[in-house]
Amino acid sequence: MDFDLSDEQKLVADNVARLMKDKYGFEQRKTYAASASGFSEPLWRQYAELGLLGAPFAEEDGGYGGGAVEIMLTQEAFGRALALEPYFASVVLAGGALRHGATPEQRAALIPEIASGELRLALAHMEPQSGWNAFDVRTTAKKGAQDYVIDGEKGLVLNGDSAQKLIVLARVSGKQRDVDGLGLFLVDGDAPGVTRRGYATQDGRRAAEVTLAGALATPLGEPGRAGPAMARVIEDAIAALSAEAVGAMAEAVEMTTDYLKTRKQFGVAIGSFQALQHRAADMVVALEQARSMMYLAAMSSSDPDTAARARAMAAAKAQIGRSAKFIGQQATQLHGGIAMTHEYKLGHLFKRLTMIDMAYGDADHHLAKLGEGESLFD
């Protein structure tokens, strides 16, 4: 595989890294988190100006012709900074639903608004009983006189409290866990019959519980055939989360090595103790293992072989989860008590890494899937 970046991709990486360095100090992040939306609206507009919001979408759809690599570069920088803006929710998840499930006309109508920062979407796909099975869907969509009518409940809708529109996964036909019979539907966030209860997640982000009671919706693509598109969306999500985790792990490793060089005990820096040097070296090894799997996930996202693509995502998720847990634990122990304080960044990095491990199946879940030879979504 060719891991060299193009000039355009290098520009994306440089721009987002510079922006995070200038605008996302840890104290600044606290201010953003305390806002009504839970993130910085001015920074969201800057993301649009830099082309980050339109980068993953095809030019014919109103984007800038990028893809998984551009998402990887952006997410890695966001992971280092612990960025709060709904890039993952709106561009990766909901945008992925448009890329894989909507008609060309629908993409052309919505994606330019996403790229400009005017429209924020949220994907409402998980339900209270779903666990890690994305196809466990009770929410129903029935054909009305003109539009479809949706009834059901969705949980953990990332940034669902501030999105203008929701993309809802609902069942048109079939049994509760059937892959067939699912549809993606566009619903106005403030439409009659839509109730949203926003809340803060453990890692400082925002999510919502959404109740739909007779809410009118417009189908994206062909109703009843959204299962394969939804699988692609989750695979893209795993690749994006892998990159964010690598960014957070890299930041944790750098913070720890810097701390070992400055913290003194018995009159010398604790980094001079060989046992601690070994532990720091093991952290670097775990980080590089995770980085390799991040590249695999990004490169595999466009693989036409469905089974190979699913195996690559499961393998990446397994290694990312194991590396994240190891690095988070080692960094916390090597820092001592300061790592447990709310005022210090390291603990927030570990929280985010833990949440990423739990999203769409933890490391043990995906290792079991690989060992049993099952599909990613069985």
Whether 173 and 207 map to the same domain: the answer is yes
Instruction: Report the candidate in 306, 297, 268 with the shortest Cα–Cα distance to residue 92.
Output: 297
Instruction: Report the candidate in 159, 132, 148, 235 with the shortest Cα–Cα distance to residue 184.
Output: 148
**Distance linking the first and last C-alpha atoms of the chain:** 29
Blockwise average pLDDT, block size 10, the chain, 378 residues = 80 94 94 95 96 95 94 98 98 97 97 97 96 94 91 97 97 94 97 97 96 97 95 97 98 96 88 92 98 96 91 96 98 92 94 97 92 65
Measured between alpha carbons, how far is 108 from 61 in angstroms, rounded to an integer?
A: 5
Which residue matches tokens 């982000």?
205
Sort 85 into a burial class: Cβ within 10 Å, 0-12 / 13-18 / 19+. buried
Q: Which domain holds residue 187?
A: 122-225
Which CATH number do you get for residue 168?
2.40.110.10
Measured between alpha carbons, how far is 370 from 315 in angstroms, rounded to an integer?
A: 7
Specify the pLDDT at position 319: 97
Measured between alpha carbons, how far is 109 from 117 in angstroms, rounded to an integer?
A: 14
Specify the pLDDT at position 90: 98
Helix, strand and coil percent figures for the chain, each rounded to 5:
55, 15, 30
Other beta carbons within 10 angstroms of residue 206's beta carbon come to 22
Specify the pLDDT at position 1: 55
Measured between alpha carbons, how far is 160 from 183 in angstroms, rounded to an integer?
A: 19
Alpha helices in 190-341 (DSSP H): 227-262, 274-300, 306-335
Last residue of a domain, one of 67, 102, 119: 119
Q: What is the DSSP string of 19-76?
A: HHHHH--HHHHHHHHTSSSSS-HHHHHHHHHTTTTTTTS-GGGTS-S--HHHHHHHHH
Specify the pLDDT at position 271: 83
Pull the structure tokens for residue 222.
């062909």
Whether 67 and 79 map to the same domain: the answer is yes
Whether 368 and 234 map to the same domain: the answer is yes
Q: Which amino acid is at 120?
A: R
Which CATH number do you get for residue 31?
1.10.540.10
Alpha helices in 82-143 (DSSP H): 95-101, 104-115
pTM of the model: 0.95
The answer to whether residue 27 sits within a structural domain is: yes
SS3 call for 299 = helix
Whether 234 and 367 map to the same domain: the answer is yes
Q: Let me know: does 52 contact 125? Beta carbons within 8 Å.
A: no
Specify the pLDDT at position 5: 87
Measured between alpha carbons, how far is 142 from 236 in angstroms, rounded to an integer?
A: 29
The answer to whether residue 177 sits within a structural domain is: yes
Whether 64 and 161 map to the same domain: the answer is no
Whether 89 and 159 map to the same domain: the answer is no
The answer to whether residue 196 sits within a structural domain is: yes
The answer to whether residue 86 sits within a structural domain is: yes
